[in-house]
A and B are shown apart, each in its own frame.
Chain A
């Protein structure tokens, strides 16, 4: 157990340079991008005096050299101050509380849905290789991987919301609904989640299904599986106890790694369903050159990927007893 603790501490420490590297890269790129927060918010007024622009630059600290701006940002972030949005004039932390919560809810629900669909489907597909079930599953997953999520989203929306009137079209809840913890409010929120979660989950599920299938096929052809069958073990035990556990290793890697991609997918899904999340927030912040907001979101996503990777690595140890954390 001591080994595990040391391993985690080592991994956490080694992730610090990664995060700093990402922050320097992002900071440089957004400052190199043409325009700036002042040009974007004031650009449509041509008669802004240079004096006024200088005053604004000074106010936002944009008159300092870029390395100094970075160091100030780094000092603030270490002390837990994510800064204030240039455009919205409120602390970024308040904004993240709203947006990040909504996005994480969407992402995790989608990933759970994806795994719930993909793992059983992948197993059945592998066990019943080249049957009708397998072919159907393969076609469905190819379809899922190939279809852009905005298209799937709009099609599902037209079918289930507009034509069949079963689900709401947009938003995270009904406009004007009171946001308490009553059954009605929870149900309302659940109904609003169905379509975006399905769209986001389906594309992820398609990928995982194909991976589980190929991974299972590979394992099912191993000698120890033949031995297990030769011993007279029941097929269920061979598949679920002996084969699945080994086949899941690459799947866990992909599920962990895909969190970053899922966030990218969430941006599209959030736009289609007018879901008030982080994806849309970061797109708007980028258009407005809202530097503190872009930095905060980027760092949060980077941190999330680092943490999910750590969890993925730890999961290996439980799936494969040969892996030791030292």
Chain B
């Protein structure tokens, strides 16, 4: 065979192969079959959430569900949630099919807070945006809320958890553990914290008495009282360091007293009586009394004050009074086991400063905008907005002075800058908000640094819209839940800093019931649920009668094009 002929045949073969290859992807696209599709709404900017959504999307393909991911800004996200809540709108009508979100720290402190997401009374404008309704679940929560016996409550919440595990109004995904990165000499961080503060009261430096700790966080404080600010930066800097409340939560999210030394609840759950600590002084040395609580409660219950806890108070609090200087009584409108977290964790303001200030002016009062005065273990001494807040130890603190002398809460917006400042020793602790999970190997390699994992009681959920024609079926929801690759999500999107979440309350909370968990990742189980929902997997298989029909036409077309190109090449090469 001549060299020329060989070249011609080679060209011909290559052109046929190439054009046939081009045809294959087109044929493949025609083949894609799925039962139905829905969208996952994600807030843009949360990279880990996007990655979780993509991993869920990939797995869902295996059980014949097509998921699309929509990333939107926070404002649009909220608008679409509200539209779904108010108009039963699905994603195509600017509502949602599902939304992926991490709930905040306080979401699951008391099991009663399950109702925030799933009780029918909290449908729009509440957080039950997906129209979940289960009368039995509602009744159990209502009943548990008025009980004060913890064992009885636990039994009821166990029933409620079983209902959620059966109905799956959301697919639980993961619990996060956020690393606090710090210098090696900083001590006293609790790995499990109540949601209401950082626990700075116990911090110390290992090599010295007293000393200064600089705590960096990525944002500034909008204002100084958490009841107005609602910002984590304010809460972390001055909540429970400067300001205090009647109650706080302990490491297992149980209620504990703060300004209240003890409390009792009447049998009907309506009357809460608090006995206050002795010797509590405001930072300007005025004594703390029940009048301070009355002045604060008066302000919160007045809508003119514009405190965000107004609604909780309006809903729950009937009346309150000082029995004497050290005893305070609150009568609730309805029994509420969760009242402690909604009502009694509100920061108390000083009566001797605020008594004559009109409620309208509380928000712009210097205690909120310049320098706050509280009863806590630290006194605020300086605030440079956008730069830092300086606190000094309160030597007269009624529970004994804190180990540290001085605390700074410093604003460093960029995580890389914060890490540089920590390595240099300019700051001592970096907040969990920096999300430094990926830096863990670097931290472990540096003997000057260490990290403490904070267990975050808020979980990541994929919330369903039950108005969706397919997602309204509980077996479809169970199938989706069983398709979520929780272990892979924790390993790949959270750098291993988290736990799989298969329960609707955190395993560390007192009402946890391990028998009421949803199944973890199991594709066969998921397919079985889909079959129960009426989907037949035969539908997804290629049609047997014309097995190659969809591939044949493009392939033949490709070959013809290849032949034409080959013929053109031959005639071109044949020319002298």
Contact = CB atoms under 8 A, between A and B. Distances in A.
Contacts of A274: 410-414, 417
A101 to B, nearest CB: 12
Interface string A40-66: 111111111111100110010000000
Contacts of B219: 284
Nearest to A84: B364
A35 B388 contact: no
Interface string B213-247: 01000011011000010100000000000000000
B127 interface: yes
Contacts of A273: 417
Interface string B295-316: 0000000010010101110100
Interface string A77-95: 0000000100111100001
Contacts of B411: 274, 276
A20 B368 CA distance: 35
A122 interface: no
Given A88-B223, A170-B421, A272-B417, A42 B369 contact: no
B574 to A, nearest CB: 52
Interface stretch (B69-77, B192-200, B553-561): B69-77
Contact of B230 (A42, A170, A280): A42
Chain B contact residues, majority secondary structure = mixed
A161 interface: yes
Given A88-B222, A162-B424, A170-B421, A44 B104 contact: yes
Contact of A47 (B223, B303, B311): B311
B413 A280 contact: yes
Interface in A238-261: none
Interface string A291-317: 000000000000000000000000000
Given A89-B363, A165-B424, A274-B417, A48 B75 contact: no
A52 B310 contact: yes
Interface string A172-192: 100110000000000000000
Contact of A280 (B76, B78, B308, B386): B386
Contacts of B116: 46-47
Given A46-B126, A50-B125, A157-B417, A35 B426 contact: no
A64 B333 CA distance: 36
B417 A169 contact: yes
Interface in B384-436: 384-388, 390, 406, 408, 410-414, 416-417, 420-421, 423-424, 426
Contacts of B73: 34-35
B517 interface: no
Contacts of A169: 417, 420-421, 424, 426
The contact size tier of chain B is 35 or more
Interface string B541-573: 000000000000000000000000000000000
A273 B416 CA distance: 10
Interface centre among B79, B122, B228, B386 (most CB of A within 10 A): B386
B390 A176 contact: yes
B125 A35 contact: no
Contact of A90 (B312, B364, B408): B364
Nearest to B129: A46
Nearest to A154: B416
A39 B385 CA distance: 24
A150 B413 CA distance: 13
Q: Which 5 A-B pairs have the closest CB atoms?
A: A35-B75, A46-B127, A34-B75, A276-B386, A274-B412
29 contacts: A34-B79, A35-B74, A35-B79, A39-B78, A40-B75, A46-B116, A47-B127, A47-B311, A51-B303, A59-B306, A84-B364, A87-B223, A89-B369, A95-B385, A154-B417, A165-B424, A169-B426, A170-B412, A170-B417, A170-B420, A170-B426, A171-B387, A176-B408, A272-B417, A274-B417, A276-B385, A280-B386, A280-B413, A281-B386
Interface of A: 33-36, 39-52, 55-56, 59, 84, 87-90, 95, 98-99, 150, 154, 157-158, 161-162, 165, 168-172, 175-176, 271-274, 276, 280-281, 284, 288-289
Interface of B: 73-76, 78-79, 104, 116, 122, 125-127, 214, 219-220, 222-223, 228, 230, 303, 306, 308, 310-312, 314, 363-364, 368-369, 382, 384-388, 390, 406, 408, 410-414, 416-417, 420-421, 423-424, 426
